[in-house]
Structure 1
Amino acid sequence: MMVNVREIQRVLSDTRDVLAEEPIVNEINSDEGIFIGDLHGDMEAFEKINDYIQDVDCPSIFLGDYVDRGAYSIEIMKSLFEMKVKDPNRVILLRGNHETPLANSRYGFKEDVRRKFPSNSHEIYQKFNETFAELPIAATLDDGRVIGLHGGIPRNTESLVTLKELPKGIVEPHRIDRLFQTLWNDPRESIEGFGRSMRGPGIYTFGRNAFDKFMKNSNAELMVRAHLAFPSGVRYYFNKRLISLFSTLSYKGRQIEGKVLHYKAGKPLLRDISEF
């Protein structure tokens, strides 16, 4: 799949204009939605997911990490951005930690841009990251009962209201702790509050008490996130009130039983991507 320079420039410009109108926490006016976890350039998984969501009349919430690792980051990103521009209320794109230069300069995306746009790579790469910076970091569904985000709860954050106060358009989110941690933090069953993360400095794990407090203060019942790769494509935390999704079919040479989550009538239903 070839992507020419003018085409990608147009798509990036149009998408940035649309995303700039969205708040940093997107409150979706629906009680039904499909949540999709990390894609990481996996075209086979993306095409299967796209076939599924086209047949369902509800919003699709992509939880971030579209780029890096896989071979088709640019092509998937272009398709998602075109879908977003065409139907912005039906296609919800959230920011993951790989939609930042800190990650995507190291794990394949920057090199992918350089290889496919050799004469314009610096400009195209910069425009991608400027567009990524306009992505919301969270979304709510079913009158706020369900929260979707990429990573997890930041430290010193009482509720979703605090996240709504964060700025958008920040290309380098590591400069703002809460923004950075929302993209990077992970759940951990064995702790109560917050603990250090093996991912590196400034990143934390959050436990049951921290999660319960945040959810209670946010009047939310379920959180759906991504960010961690599991062979089964899913893992539950905190009495199944937090569901972690991974939506590729392969990752770093391993086969993955990728999943999406279809939330409908107050119930989260897992769907196996390979069956689409």
Structure 2
Amino acid sequence: MLSGCLVRLWTRGDGTHHRSLNLYGPRALAEPPSPLCVSRMPRLLFSERLRPITGLKGEEYLKAFLDIILGHHIAWTNGGIYHCDLNLTNTVYRKEGGKVCGVLYDFDLVSTDFKSHDYTERLERTGTLPYMTLDLLRARYLNISSPHLYRHDLEAFYWMLVWTCSCIVDGKEDTEGQRMEFGTWRKGDYRACHARKLQWEGGGPYYWEQLVQPSQMALWIIAKQWAGDHILRQRIEIVRLRSKGLKEPYEADPSATCWDRQP
């Protein structure tokens, strides 16, 4: 199941080659030591041709999008692999038997180091600005530590869906006119992006729909349900906990029932 949601790579290596490497070079100020012998195997890395998910619409987009969320979930829970940079560039698709299959791509920033009671290994900045969770944006502009959690990645998918419905037309971005506020999500700083996203959420369903691209209305029927549910189940709950001075829920994995741990 996981292999269908991730990119396929092929490598080719032809024997082991050795070469001498002088770490000091001709500009060394002192007499260099003996050259260092390095063993290496030349490899060629090939990737299949994949297409951006933003080129899809309606049912096909949703199918590919859910495939990618599933692949991310399996990688996180079963493989201990944390992508750490979810964005629309890394969400692509292939066609198999005429059917769309979503693929999660670009694991350059992947992390595999996770300790159930120690989050210090995942405190670095992760994510692309327009899709970063409000929690992480807030932590960055306040310069405070915040672990990168599974729910943060789910929220990244949420913002990707919002961006697609509002700013993508025939595979291209449209952030002009009444959609200029979305440009701040990309070009602003952490504080500005956080403020604009809060403003968008506070606008409510009628406001959201005014910004949806006409060609994305079918997808928006699904997206608006996610948006409303996300705000009710997570945003309001976090505000409630903060107002009472209670510790916010930092679940260890997707199976944790984070809200049940609070009084």
Category of TM-score, reference length = shorter chain: under 0.3
Under a length normalisation based on structure 2, what TM-score does the superposition of the two structures give? Answer: 0.27
Q: Of Structure 1 and Structure 2, which has the larger fraction of its residues in strand?
A: 1
Under a length normalisation based on structure 1, what TM-score does the superposition of the two structures give? Answer: 0.26
Larger relative contact order (CA 8 Å, sep ≥ 6): 1
Q: Of Structure 1 and Structure 2, which has the larger fraction of its residues in helix?
A: 2
